[in-house]
Amino acid sequence: MSVLVYIEADNNAVKKSSLEALTYAAKMNAGDVTALVTDKAENLEELGKYGVKTVLQVTDEQLSSRPVSAIASTIAGAAQKAGANIVVMSRSSTVDAVAPRVGVKMSATVASNVVALPQTDNGFVVRRGVFTGKAFADTKLEGENKVLTIAKNALAVDDSAGGSATVEAFSPEYGAKDFAIKVTDVKKQEGDILLPEADLVVSAGRGLKGPENWGMIEELATTLGAATACSKPVSDMDWRPHHEHVGQTGIKVAPSLYIATGISGAIQHLAGVNSSKTIVVINKDAEAPFFKSADYGVVGDAFDVIPKLTEALKKAGV
């Protein structure tokens, strides 16, 4: 069994979610793990610490905007070159569009939102999060070729393999329609901590009463080293930028800690955050639905609780 892992990078650094995908591939006890990188990234030989033997690096500027058809062709070509029958990718907006296309090109079965290592005692069975994280499904994948997209935070990153990977240039072959769609502009999320990659998230809703009160949320986030987020009504009212909107129609996050302040907990919001490992809810309404999904809850006014929490964290040296 040989595995190819598609790697995404940002600001010349491999994303944490892609390191999780590498960890997943290494723990599958694959014979060889090959990484494919189409973004600009440095120190790729260090991926050997995650069990990678070879890194295939593509430097074609046409891929900088991540055109999905061309990326799919690149992944399928790299899998063929590496002799890999399994492709592993971490879920992202790009991967969600690319994975099914790779499945078609490789005549492979595709499993999305995988949350655990495969069971191979009786075929090849993976556990997937379904119904927006409310349940799990054990899915048996038939056929030799398989494509897996891994849910964020499904596995902790493990760099204990040691060693150094060999980096090779790779020039894929493209089809006539791979660049049929022209990307004219790409706007990236700004900020020191990108929300989709954040391990800690501080979020707030209409309970903050207005955009002028967001300073205390930002201060708490800065103290924790967390990303900031918001509910859909908040972004709809332009209190916060739309790229901070988490929920069913926004960004879906799976941090280790999600702090929700002044958010009632409508099902649409829960659909985007219920994969979080720990959820803390702060709301002055003791009947707020979000408390039913919380690991910890604080019944209190955000304007009283948040400043005291931030002050306590600073005193504790967090």
Query: Is the C-alpha dihedral spanning 91, 146, 110, 102 positive or negative?
Result: positive
Distance CA 95, CA 148 (A): 10
In contact, 15 and 37? CB cutoff 8 Å: no
| 240 in a labelled binding site | no
64 is in an annotated binding site: no
Burial 33-70 (b: 16+ CB within 10 A, else e): bbbbbbbebeebeebbbbbbbbbbbbeeeebeebbbbb
Burial class (CB in 10 A: 0-12, 13-18, 19+), 112: buried
Residue 217 marked as a ligand binder: no
The answer to the question of whether 263 is labelled as a binding residue is yes
Residue 257 in 3-state DSSP? strand
User: What six digits make up the tokens of 76?
Assistant: 């399928």
d(C-alpha 115, C-alpha 128), whole Å: 6
* Residues forming a β-bridge with 125: 119, 140
State yes or no: 265 annotated in a binding site: yes
DSSP state of 245: B
**251 known ligand binder:** no
SS3 readout for 97-159: HHHHHHHHHHCCEEEEEECCCCECCCCCEEEEEECCCCEEEEEECCCCCEEEEECCCCCCCCC
Query: Is 250 within any annotated ligand binding site?
Result: no
Provide the 3-class DSSP secondary structure of residue 203.
strand
Report in angstroms the alpha-carbon separations of 316 from 79, 224, 228, 250.
49, 11, 21, 34
The reply to whether 267 sits in an annotated binding site is yes
Detail the residues annotated as belonging to a binding site for FAD: 206, 262-269, 283
In the annotated binding site, the residues are 206, 262-269, 283
